Copies of this chain bind each other. A is one copy, B any other.
Amino acid sequence: MRTLRVQTKSRTELVDVTARLAEALEESGLRQGMLTAFVPHTTAGITINENADPSVRHDLESALDRLVPADWSYAHLEGNADAHIKATLLGSSVNIPVEDGRLQLGTWQGIYFAEFDGPRQRSLWVQVSRGLEAE
Which residues of A come within 8 Å of B, CB atoms? Answer: 1, 28-30, 33-34, 36, 38-42, 47-50, 53, 55-56, 58-60, 62-63, 66-68, 72, 74-78, 81, 84-85, 87-99, 104-109, 123, 125, 127-132, 135
Contacts and interface: CB of A to CB of B under 8 A. Distances in A.
The 4 closest A-B pairs by CB, nearest first: A40-B106, A55-B75, A97-B127, A129-B129
A19 to B, nearest CB: 18
What copy number does this chain have within its complex? 3
A105 B56 contact: no
Query: Which secondary structure characterizes the binding site on chain A?
Result: mixed
A104 B1 contact: yes
Contacts of A130: 33, 129-132
